[in-house]
Structure 1
Amino acid sequence: MEAQVNSVSRAAVYQLHLVRRLRPYLPADCLARVVHALVISRLDYCNALYVGLPLKVTRKLQLIQNAAARLVTGGSRRDHITPVLKDLHWLPVRFRAQFKVLVLTFKALNGLGPVYLKERLHPHRSARTLRSSAEGLLAVPSLREAKLQGTRQRAFSVVAPALWNALPSDVKAINNYLTFRRHLKAALFREAFNL
């Protein structure tokens, strides 16, 4: 995945450089739209694949998102980035990837997504009745059940149930897609910024 991340980084940095030249000519709201369309969209493309990657690999993407946030707000490189991301209501790259996986999981569980993803998700079955039985937990396959040796820790069938089970039960209980997205982003936002 390092080659993929390097390719995305190069393209995003190039677009960020071009947008930086336009900054004096664009009002703030237009600048934010252009940055989102040209830079952030590149970071979000196929970002579900970034879940579980080492931080040294995703750090490049996070630095680009930080630069984009500073460009939109007019901050300097010395300003701390956490308040800037919080004000823009942008999730850090790692949480954006988790958001994408959890949205795909919701779609698969509710019949809105592809069938091949739904086939990878199975409800958790316990040998006896527990209080957690009603929480909508998913079974996390063992390492033996996950097929690909090199990427099994990052496979959808392993990552999606683990992330889904870590969600608050009130978020998992939501049936409406748009409501789920809103509550999911709020939950990840609280986790990312320790609110």
Structure 2
Amino acid sequence: MSAPAPLSFGVPQGSVLGPILFIMYTKPLSTLIQNHSVLNQSFADDTQLYKPSPPAETHSAIQTIQTCITDVKSWMVDNKLKLNDDKTEVLLCKKKNATFPSPQPVSVQIGNTDILFSPSARNLGFTLSSDMTLNKHISLVCRAAYFELRKISTIRPTLSSQTTNTLVCAFVLSKLDYCNSLLSGCPLYLLHKLQKVQNSAARLILKARKRDDATPLLHTLHWLPIQARIDYKLSTLCFNFFSGSSPAYFSELLTVYSPARQLRASSDGRILTIPHTKTKTYGQRTFTFCAPTQWNSLPLHIRHSQSPQAFKRALKTHLFKKYNP
């Protein structure tokens, strides 16, 4: 152990009090950002700014962001903090057919640094693309999953099937399941890439040949296919909403259905409102649309399960039968 040293201020790195005290220390930052009519989210020492606007007002939105960041830098200097200009990433998210006023913006100025718009950025392990597609994220997930599969395959002859299953679930399926609720409404050709990874994992565990049909292998392992795993995650999040275990920022995305007239089905009480959307490509891929749609499609007895354990058991059985007729 190192010798004791006096601590004049702050807390030691790794202390359990560190995250709590840091949140208290940076609490005024959120109010400062909101004064510029800019949305924000914070996670540990990472702060994200959002400014939605129509394409015609893009330059005005960028100017607002720049002014906000300037004030944030001043606040950080006054509070003995430092903004890493070179680690800042900027995304200009837009539809494919969106047109911007000339000249088209290409960067945001932060201090003395011009930050060029990035085609994609990593957000808590999920890769967001400026064109609002999931191609980049799914490609990275598949690459990482295949890398883990290759490593496991090198030692597969020395492992039992149970041990291999444990390793695959820990290092491969965990990557496929991470943030998979965001994949709802994703084009089938992209989900097929993830399904191929899962099929390869099943063949590795059961020592099947490369061209063997993976469907009976998934059935043997009692694995849900990729689309079913997405439905499982969406349904579980909705159940948490009704059980009151969801955080406030998540609960704001869902609304319990309240019929205008008393109907026979209105006594259910566990039906969510499905919002109207104008576009299928973007509107019907949102969580506020996909989650209620999936939840309302579940049988009544599953939606009214009394405990999370009973709900998950019934849900997996239902999805297993649905995707393995």
Query: Is the structural similarity TM-score above 0.5?
Result: yes
Q: Secondary structure at the match of 1:133?
A: helix
Mapped to 2, the partners of 1:104 and 1:13 lie a distance apart of 28
Instruction: Name the residue aligned to 1:174.
Output: 305
- What does residue 236 of structure 2 align with? 103
Which aligned pairs between 1:40-55 and structure 2 lie closer than 5 A?
A: 40-55=173-188
Structure-2 separation of matches of 1:65 and 1:192: 15
Distance 1:171 1:134 in 2: 16
Residues 9 and 64 in structure 1, CA contact (< 8 A), matched pair in contact too: yes
Task: Give the CA deviation at 1:72.
Answer: 0.6
TM-score normalized with structure 1 length: 0.93
Q: How far off is 1:152 after superposition?
A: 2.0
Over residues 80-123 of structure 1, what are the superposed CA-to-partner deviations in whole Å (9 max), with x where a residue is unaligned? 21111111010001110111111111112211111122222212
Match of 1:11?
Answer: 144
- For 1:182, the aligned partner's letter is R
Is 1:112 the counterpart of 2:245? The answer is: yes
Aligned residue type for 1:174: S
Which residue pairs with 2:276 in the alignment?
Answer: 142
| Matched letter for residue 184 of structure 2 | V
Please say if residues 234 and 295 of structure 2, whose CA atoms lie closer than 8 Å, have aligned partners that are also in contact.
no
CA displacement 1:28-47 (0-9 Å, x = unmatched): 11111011111111111111
Q: Tell me, which stretches of 5 or more residues in structure 1 are unaligned?
A: none
CA positional deviation for 1:175: 2.5
* C-alpha distance in 1 between matches for 2:211 and 2:239: 39
Number of the residue aligned with 1:155: 286
Kindly name which structure, 1 or 2, has the bigger radius of gyration based on alpha carbons. Answer: 2
CA-to-aligned-CA distance 1:8-47 (integer Å, 9 cap, x gap): 0000011101111110111111111011111111111111
Alignment-mate amino acid for residue 276 of structure 2: S
Contact 1:15 1:38 (C-alpha < 8 Å) held by counterparts: yes
Structure 1 contact 69–84 (Cα < 8 Å) conserved: yes
Deviations 1:55-102 (A, max 9, x none): 101111100000000111111122221111111010001110111111
Q: What is the CA–CA distance in structure 1 between the aligned matches of 2:280 and 2:197, rounded to whole Å? A: 31
Question: What is the 5 A alignment of 1:17-96?
Answer: 17-96=150-229
Unpaired segments ≥5 residues, structure 2: 1-133
Root-mean-square deviation over aligned CA pairs: 1.5
Asked if the contact 1:109–1:118 (Cα under 8 Å) also holds between the matched residues in 2, the reply is: no
> What letter corresponds to residue 277 of structure 2 in structure 1?
L
Give the share of equivalent positions with the same residue, in percent: 37
Q: CA deviation at 1:179?
A: 0.9
Give secondary structure in 2 for the equivalent of 1:188: helix
SS state at 1:65 partner: helix
Match of 2:264 among 131, 136, 145: 131
The number of aligned residues is 191
Residue deviations 1:139-160 (CA, integer Å, cap 9, x gap)? 101116xxx9963211111111
User: Quick check: 2:184–2:287 contact (8 Å CA) kept in 1?
Assistant: no
**Local SS of the residue matching 1:120:** coil
Secondary structure of the 1:7 match is helix
Give the aligned residue type for 1:168: P
